[in-house]
Amino acid sequence: MKNAVGREIPDDILKLTGKEVFHGNCYYDGYEYKKAGPRIKCVIRSGGDKLVDSIHEVLLKCEIKDGMTLSFHHHFRDGDFIVNMVMKEVHKMGIKNITICASSLGKAHDCLVECIEDGTITNIQSSGVRGKIGRAISEGKLKGLAIMRSHGGRVRAIETGEVHVDLAFIGAPTCDDYGNCRGIGGKSNCGVLSYSVVDGDYADKVVAVTDCLVPFPNFPAHISMTKVDYVVVVDAIGDPKKIAAGAAKPTKDMRKLMMAEYCTQFVINTPYFKDGFSYQTGVGGASIASTISLARIMKERGVRMRFGVGGLTKPMCDLLIDGQADVLLDTQDFDLDAVESVKDLKHYRISAGEYADPFNKGAVVNKLDFVILAALEVDVEFNCNVVIGSDGMLAGAQGGHPDTAAGAKCTIVIVPLLQGRIPVIRTEVTAVTTPGESVDVVITDYGIAINPRRRDLMQCMEKVDLPFKTIEELRDIAYSIAGEPDRVAFEDRVVGIIEARDGTVMDVVRQVKPFVFD
């Protein structure tokens, strides 16, 4: 069955998952449902602690068994030790058929491929997968399905009960003996624990894993002791050097700086650029550069930002430090400056649910004026792909892309027209993750296309001196330079689905056919 972005979703996948096809961003607006509830084991006795000696012992206490769903958060990014530490033990115990429900998985987790190959892990739910795991899934090694969810969509899936987490593992930079976790302090400081809040709220068993035990009460707790069953102290939960190394340095690439300047010029010519506006940007070089150039114009014109949201980096935190932004709302820290900034009294932690969940009573993304995003591919309907590489391999993550794009009044995607010799703007994307209805402007190094749905923005830009083109013109330029890209050859087998934030199917991920020379 074809969905609202024109992707054919096989009926057997709809039947297997019980899902609907994507019907458009607001299809579920106003929908009523009953939230799920976890199983709780009461702790009424006074005193005591929840300390358990090892991961092995805590798995026994949690009565680990075949078929369980284990959840993890990704605030330690490429420096994460928790997933491997737990799964190594699960593997050793001979447990099979585990579903991993992670807020994201990355290069730190390459060694899980062994667990995928031998059936320890049979299902993966994540914002995305990179490195060897992505390749393993795309090559058909995962026995079950990979489900790629946005950050908001993950919260939705857990709170509706679509996913029931049996055991949640929360890596805590500091924790007390009763389970109060903070993202701050210790040797693996990651700033916030936003993605794991929903795990604490909905998992049956919650295990805090820390390498820095502190006196009770470790307040203000980012995850409360009231949600935590056990605390395990280990030598190290992460590699500090890799935790906050995600963000690009301010770019010197002239092409990126040019796109950043286009972006800033576009932003300031919209009606949303006024005192009290709100803003989010990604961590790409051009995005970061555009924050820096926007800050300059804000200062010149005396325009203040009411709130900045993210996935935060130094340039966003500088806005707070320089008094150009009233507050920051933080779900994740990409660099050490952002981790450090969490101490600022106007730098507030928010949960992934507060940030982006489409199934609560209103998330922060609904209040965004601007979001500046990147993409792997954009098609002529403005649909974006951020999950599958142009070679067909799973290699990216939805993150907050579909959430912020849907919420923001003005969604700007900055992409180079070509990535190497591969057209980024194209007739058809390899997979759709963010629907074109969410994307208002695409900025490339060869020109800027406004989504025809946004006549209002086109009107605003009538007298603005920027290289506007249609999206088809941009595609044609790309094709004229690099040729029309061949379609990736896929097998029939569906190895994963790309879920829309409301749980419908945006697209499927198919097994990649081994490349054969003609």
Task: Give residue for tokens 């701050």.
Answer: 184
Q: Is 183 in the site for its own copies (CB under 8 A)?
A: no
**From candidates 2, 6, 23, 33, binder to its own copies by CB under 8 A:** 33
Q: How far is CA 289 from the centre of its chain?
A: 21
Contact status: 233 vs its own copies (CB under 8 A):
no
322 binds its own copies (CB under 8 A): no
CB of 94 to its own copies, least distance (A): 26
Residue among 159, 179, 156 nearest 169 (CA): 179
Q: Does 37 bind its own copies (CB under 8 A)?
A: yes
Task: Give, to the nearest 10 degrees, the angle between helix 285-301 and helix 254-268.
Answer: 40
Q: Does 364 bind its own copies (CB under 8 A)?
A: yes
Segment contacting its own copies (CB under 8 A): 34-42, 139-147, 332-340, 469-477? 34-42
* Nearest distance, CB of residue 109 and its own copies, angstroms: 28
Instruction: Out of 70, 317, 363, 432, point to the residue binding its own copies (CB under 8 A).
Output: 363
Q: Is 38 in the site for its own copies (CB under 8 A)?
A: yes
- Closest contact distance (angstroms) between CB of 40 and its own copies is 6
Contact between 65 and its own copies per CB under 8 A? no
Pick one of 12, 18, 47, 517: the residue that binds its own copies (CB under 8 A): 47
Is 453 a binding residue for its own copies by CB under 8 A? The answer is no
Q: Counting contacts by CB under 8 A, is residue 217 touching its own copies?
A: yes
Pairing of strands 181-182, 174-175: antiparallel
Interhelix angle for 285-301 vs 314-321, to 10°? Answer: 20
Q: How far apart are CA 172 and CA 174, in angstroms?
A: 5
- Omega before residue 452 within 30° of 0, cis: no
Type of residue at 331: T
Contact 93, 64 (CB under 8 A): yes
Q: How far is the CB of 179 from its own copies (least distance, A)?
A: 7
Buried b (16+ CB within 10 A) or exposed e, 445-482: bbbbbbbeebeebeebbeeeebebbebeebbbbbbeeb
Residue in 61, 304, 367, 453 binding its own copies, rule: CB under 8 A: 367
Is 192 among the residues that bind its own copies (CB under 8 A)? no
The maximal CA–CA distance of the chain, rounded, in angstroms, is 73
Q: Does 26 bind its own copies (CB under 8 A)?
A: yes
- The residue ranges that bind its own copies (CB under 8 A) are 25-26, 28-48, 50, 178-179, 206, 215-217, 219-220, 224-229, 276, 306-307, 327, 329, 348, 353-354, 357-368, 406-409, 502
